[in-house]
Chains A and B, each alone.
Chain A
Amino acid sequence: AAGVIQSPRHLIKEKRETATLKCYPIPRHDTVYWYQQGPGQDPQFLISFYEKMQSDKGSIPDRFSAQQFSDYHSELNMSSLELGDSALYFCASSLAPLSSGNTIYFGEGSWLTVV
């Protein structure tokens, strides 16, 4: 079965650079979520989209922005990167919003290292 696809899987950037992560949800899933997991931490919610509109927002820095496109894929843009942005970034998707009783499925994550 198709899963959530994230790219790139690994990324190394220097401080103050910009990085873009991409996420392709499971086919027919219209809701996408982004999470950030620092070393030894639990995943922290960043932002979610339903039908290309932002549906919820967590502790996402102002330097980060995200959007969902017409084909439902999503991109997370991170600018002015800091060392503390080094983390595993997960994208997840669901068939419809979680409030409808749906299950969330996670991608394998994108490892971002800022040096």
Chain B
Amino acid sequence: GIQVEQSPPDLILQEGANSTLRCNFSDSVNNLQWFHQNPWGQLINLFYIPSGTKQNGRLSATTVATERYSLLYISSSQTTDSGVYFCAVDTGRDDKIIFGKGTRLHILP
């Protein structure tokens, strides 16, 4: 099956810093989504981005489907950005999305 790799696995930053999270996938995808899981366990959908670039406030994402990777940018980090960021993909060949292992982000005040 498709492999989804995220890097880095852990990231500790000071409040106000910028960060880039990466997601590599091993096969063509029908869809790619970025999620933020907050400390209470809620999975918040950030972007639906099978290709191209999208921006939402301090967050933006870019997916280069031909090179099989996606990047999530977080600017001017806030403590509320802490949590785990997951990349998840579906190939269009079955009814499920596959998650990467996630990047655990900790923003220090």
| Chain A residues engaging chain B, CB cutoff 8 angstroms | 31, 33, 37, 42-45, 48, 50, 55-56, 58, 88, 90, 97-99, 101, 103-106, 108-109, 111
Please, how many angstroms separate the alpha-carbon atoms of A92 and B41 in the complex? 14
Q: Is B98 an interface residue (CB 8 A)?
A: yes
User: Are the C-beta atoms of B45 and A48 separated by less than 8 Å?
Assistant: no
Interface string of B63-101 (1 = CB under 8 A from A): 000000000000000000000001000101111111111
Known contacts A99-B30, A99-B92, A109-B43; A104 and B97 CB within 8 A of each other: yes
Q: Which 3 pairs, one residue from A and one from B, show the smallest C-beta to C-beta distance?
A: A42-B99, A56-B95, A55-B95
Q: Is the interface of A mostly helix, strand, loop or mixed?
A: strand
Chain B hits for A58, CB < 8 A: 96
A99 to chain B, nearest CB (A): 5
Number of interface residues of B (CB under 8 A): 22
Chain B hits for A43, CB < 8 A: 43, 86, 99
Q: Is the interface of B mostly helix, strand, loop or mixed?
A: loop
Known contacts A42-B86, A42-B100, A104-B33; A99 and B95 CB within 8 A of each other: yes
User: Are the C-beta atoms of B101 and A98 separated by less than 8 Å?
Assistant: no
User: Are the C-beta atoms of A50 and B100 separated by less than 8 Å?
Assistant: no
Chain A hits for B97, CB < 8 A: 33, 45, 98, 104
User: Are the C-beta atoms of B101 and A42 separated by less than 8 Å?
Assistant: yes
Chain B hits for A104, CB < 8 A: 33, 90, 97
